Chain A
Amino acid sequence: MRRFLLQSFLYSLIFLLLVSCKTYKLADVKSVTNSEKTVENLYFSSNEDYVYKCQMDIYKNHVSGILIIKKLNDATHRVVLTSDFGNKLIDFEISGENFKLNYVLADLDKKIVINFLKNDFQQLLKQKYPVSESFENEKSKIYLSKLDKKQYYLFFNKENGLLNQIIYTKNDKEKIDFTFEAKKHIFADSLNLQHKDFKINIKLFQITETE
């Protein structure tokens, strides 16, 4: 573990040095007047079970399993990851402000892992975004939402109105890139979560609707 931490630290340091001068900027877009006050990520907003096949790559470690997301009330989601054999790896309840760990497998019980998951899912499950500025390009309507040092760029497909990307930036640096594929606004068929400053990637493919 110590070697892993050291390695991660070195990797991220090198990576940070390489990217730290790069500031995230929208390219080839034109500013438009605010048409919306708030935009929403509704992909986890239904009370039904959301079940996904999950592939996580955390540096050189590959974790495979089944991810379940369930909205408990307006603010809180329950998130459970099991292995493919069904045994539970991690189970937590999360809202914008709160995080309650119900269970974690001893091998995964590392502060660094839990903090990453907490942060990633807090961003992913955030539903409402107040709009600060609006843009558009050929394909998308783009909304910028500013909350303190955090900025979110939400890309909605012009043709079908579906959210297909969120770029999360902090201090103007690109942090996480969320890409969605969907046919309806409350349900994403697949999702790709890519960290820009760490070698962490999470891929989800829906297995909710199998019949």
Chain B
Amino acid sequence: MIKNIAFGAFLLVSSFFFAQNTAMSGAEAKAFVTKVSSETKEIKTLQSDFTQTKKMDFLDKNIVTYGRMSLKTPNILSWKYTKPYQYSIIFKDNKIFINDQGKKSSVDAKSKTFEKINKLIVGSSNGQMFNDPEFSVAYLKNANYNIAKFTPKSAQLLKYIKQIELSFPKGQSTVSQVNMTEASGDTTNIVFKNTKINAPISASEFSL
């Protein structure tokens, strides 16, 4: 109990020091969106390593998985988990290709939910997501990051996701961190590292 109170107090204090998010002014938000949108228009390819951390209150340890994402505009996306297991999902030609530890399958991406998810992921790399009619967006900032907070408008998407926060390091136009909060309150955090913009990506990255 005391441990919890102490931990809570620590969180509270540390949040004052490290991550005091304040809302951007209308002009700041406009400048931020314009900058990100224009710079991401120049993106042809994007590749990045990621670390995904899933937190659940009843677990002793977080569940951490690692992988690599590759993107080729306008709409080819590959999301590959490499550790501790192999799982790839590729969005290409309105189809979704999956390799689940050697078991390959494909589905039509006509499912509305998949379409929305794909749009959001691709949109977050080309600046289009700020205009996505599915979400309302709030703009925040702290000492190190500009933050765009997305909240789904439709009840259908709210069933899956309560909120998505994209963090952009100050002065950069690509996302370095994604925080997702589910309807159940659990959070998933994805941190991107070694991001390469417009470097050639081999075709094998986009096939299973």
Contact = CB atoms under 8 A, between A and B. Distances in A.
Does A pair with B?
yes
Contacts of B84: 53, 207, 210
A88 B63 contact: no
12 contacts: A55-B101, A55-B103, A70-B58, A80-B56, A82-B63, A84-B87, A85-B52, A86-B54, A86-B188, A87-B180, A87-B188, A205-B101
Interface size class of A (residues with CB under 8 A): 20 to 34
Contacts of B180: 86-87
B184 interface: yes
Interface string B180-205: 10101010100000000000000000
A123 interface: no
Interface of B: 52, 54, 56, 58-61, 63, 65, 81, 83-85, 87, 89, 98, 100-101, 103, 105, 159-161, 180, 182, 184, 186, 188
A207 B85 contact: yes
Nearest to A70: B58
A19 B63 CA distance: 42
Contacts of A42: none
Contacts of B85: 53, 205, 207
B54 A82 contact: yes
Contacts of A103: 184
Interface of A: 48-49, 51, 53, 55, 62, 64, 66, 68, 70, 72, 78, 80, 82, 84-88, 91, 102-103, 105-106, 205, 207, 210
Contacts, number: 64
Given A87-B180, A91-B184, A62 B58 contact: no
A10 B195 CA distance: 52
Nearest to B113: A107
Contact of A68 (B56, B81, B100, B105): B56
Contacts of A87: 160-161, 180, 182, 186, 188
A61 B85 CA distance: 21
A78 B186 CA distance: 15
A106 B100 contact: no
Given A84-B65, A210-B83, 5 more contacts: A51-B63, A86-B63, A88-B182, A88-B184, A102-B184
B173 to A, nearest CB: 24
Contacts of B63: 51, 66, 68, 82, 86
Given A64-B87, A105-B160, A84 B59 contact: no
B114 to A, nearest CB: 12
Contacts of B87: 53, 64, 84
